Amino acid sequence: MINFFRLLDSNRHIVFCPMNFVADTYVGCPHGCWYCYAPSFSARGGFEDSFPKFRNFRRRFNCDRDFEKIEAALEGGMVKGTCSRKQEEFVAKALEHRHPLRIGSVSEPFGVPLEKQYRDTYRVLEMLIQHDYPFVVCTKSPLVATAAYVNLLKSAKKVGVQISLISLDDNLLQSIESSGSGLTPSARSRYTTLKKLSNEGIFTTCRIQPVIPQVTEGGIKDLIFALAEAGVNHVIAEFLWFPLVHGKKMSARLKLELDNYGRNNGSVGEFLKKHNNDLYTFYRSFGDYRVSDGRLFYSKSQISRSMTKISAIVSEANNEFNSNMSFGSGNEETTFLNSTNNCCGVDRIDGFAERSPCTVHTMFRIAKEKGRVTLNEMKESYNPYSERIVELWNKEEKQGYFIENRVFKIKRKVTDNRVEYVYDETLFPA
């Protein structure tokens, strides 16, 4: 069993993320991002243990038989041995529907030295392309823009490449992404990778995830303008969140790195300085921070203000460079700012649009057009977890309701004992 395909099934993924069909060609990640949430999934040994464990980058596949199983799943829906038993039904449904696959959800698909040596990702991409299967790859590695991979990706009809780049400031990235090792690719090399792939006509996305308030916000305009100049197709931005299981320790580690950055002539905002560079405490200093789904999220009103500014910067950059870069908010609160039908922008890629409609975005579209949206209308859209949608549609929480609590401008309304949602322009913190 290679446990390759996964359909992310948290409540948040089901309602807010249509790119929840994921697969990782390796295990762990060679990069050293201290803001990474992925180690929290294996936090049993505590914070100190989880990061070194996660950075133990290793092969997922042991033999040719593993690849044959993936081939059988793509060819005839024989998913046994490619995912967990409890997900078999859903993975089979997703493959049958050709639900776009995201390669590299919690690992680096082009990490060196493994990918150079074994080419496991190359082999998987070849199979996907042979089956004309829609997919995106997420990476920080410039290896994706070398000749062999570019040629391979260009032979695909339905493909996107997403590069994570949160800032152009290498001094900062050295502190918070490389843990001093210098092994995580520089901002310059990732920027060049985005530019090269965009010039090759491949659909490119820059993932500005996370936006770190008071730390990367100041450089966002320069970054977005540079992306527009490079011909990048889409930008997605999402504010840093902390997994509750080790959020305080993660913040303490980030603080050390930010202190270091300060000693190396870097600077952070005054409000964060007042909290001694401790982002966790800074987050909790706002009256409207959110704790839910096992996470601590940034202040709702700050997200509202900052994300609106970021989306405006994307428009400005498009005017300046005559570019057509779209924008997506990775924070579900500000979904209404998306200029595409989901935050990843993948619906702009040929062959993706009908494959994985975003539930909350579909709600917005219908509610805006018709004044309200009903559950029956939502049932017309594909979602592998359609039964869970019914549950979440009606889900009541301690205070308010699941969807209303997370998304601005959408309001629940009960008519004839039926729950509907209406669009309300005023439900937005100024």
Using CB under 6 A as the binding rule, whether residue 31 contacts ligand SF4 is answered as: yes
Using CB under 6 A as the binding rule, whether residue 78 contacts ligand SF4 is answered as: no
Of 36 and 250, CB closest to ligand SF4: 36
Q: Which residues contact 327 (CB under 8 A, 6 or more apart)?
A: 234, 235, 236, 237, 310, 311, 314, 315, 337, 338, 339, 340, 345
CA dihedral 222, 257, 271, 426 (to 10 degrees): 60
Q: Which stretch binds ligand SF4 (CB under 6 A): 4-12, 32-40, 41-49, 232-240?
A: 32-40
How would you classify residue 180: left for phi > 0, otherwise alpha for psi between -120 and 50, otherwise beta? left
Of 31 and 355, CB closest to ligand SF4: 31
Q: Which stretch binds ligand SF4 (CB under 6 A): 33-41, 68-76, 393-401, 413-421?
A: 33-41
d(CA 122, CA 68): 15
Of 192 and 315, CB closest to ligand SF4: 192
CB half-sphere exposure, 378, CA atoms < 13 A? 28
Using CB under 6 A as the binding rule, whether residue 392 contacts ligand SF4 is answered as: no
Using CB under 6 A as the binding rule, whether residue 33 contacts ligand SF4 is answered as: yes
Of 29 and 103, CB closest to ligand SF4: 29
At its nearest, how many Å lie between ligand SF4 and the CB of residue 253? 13
Using CB under 6 A as the binding rule, whether residue 140 contacts ligand SF4 is answered as: yes
At its nearest, how many Å lie between ligand SF4 and the CB of residue 176? 10
d(CA 84, CA 429): 42
At its nearest, how many Å lie between ligand SF4 and the CB of residue 32? 7
Q: Which stretch binds ligand SF4 (CB under 6 A): 26-34, 298-306, 366-374, 408-416?
A: 26-34
At its nearest, how many Å lie between ligand SF4 and the CB of residue 106? 5
Using CB under 6 A as the binding rule, whether residue 24 contacts ligand SF4 is answered as: no
Using CB under 6 A as the binding rule, whether residue 137 contacts ligand SF4 is answered as: no
Of 92 and 343, CB closest to ligand SF4: 343
Concatenated DSSP letters of 80-123? TTTS-GGGHHHHHHHHHHTPPEEE-SSS-TT-TTHHHHH-HHHH
At its nearest, how many Å lie between ligand SF4 and the CB of residue 96? 29
Rounded to a whole number, what is the distance in angstroms from the first to the last CA of the chain? 51
At its nearest, how many Å lie between ligand SF4 and the CB of residue 35? 7
Q: Which stretch binds ligand SF4 (CB under 6 A): 3-11, 29-37, 299-307, 348-356?
A: 29-37
d(CA 39, CA 377): 38
Using CB under 6 A as the binding rule, whether residue 8 contacts ligand SF4 is answered as: no
Using CB under 6 A as the binding rule, whether residue 29 contacts ligand SF4 is answered as: yes
Of 298 and 393, CB closest to ligand SF4: 298
SS3 of the chain: helix, strand, coil, percent, to 5: 45, 15, 40
At its nearest, how many Å lie between ligand SF4 and the CB of residue 33? 3
Tokens for 253, please give them.
């580690």
Tokens for 277, please give them.
């560079």
Q: How many residues bind ligand SF4 (CB under 6 A)?
A: 8
- Single out the residue of 421, 396, 419 nearest to residue 408, CA to CA: 421
Other CB atoms closer than 10 Å to residue 304's CB: what's the count? 19
Q: Would you say 163 and 190 are in contact if contact means Cβ atoms under 8 Å apart?
A: yes
Binders in 104-123 for ligand SF4, by CB under 6 A: 106, 108
Q: In 3-state terms, what secondary structure has residue 189?
A: helix
- Single out the residue of 179, 198, 23, 10 nearest to residue 104, CA to CA: 23
Alpha-carbon separation of residue 402 from 28, 91, 228, 332, 363 (angstroms): 32, 26, 36, 12, 14
Given candidates 15, 19, 36, 129, which one binds ligand SF4 under the rule CB under 6 A?
A: 36
Of 108 and 420, CB closest to ligand SF4: 108
Given candidates 38, 183, 252, 422, which one binds ligand SF4 under the rule CB under 6 A?
A: 38
Of 3 and 405, CB closest to ligand SF4: 3
Q: Which stretch binds ligand SF4 (CB under 6 A): 28-36, 253-261, 385-393, 405-413?
A: 28-36
d(CA 102, CA 205): 13
Which chain residues interact with ligand SF4 by CB under 6 A? 29, 31, 33, 36, 38, 106, 108, 140
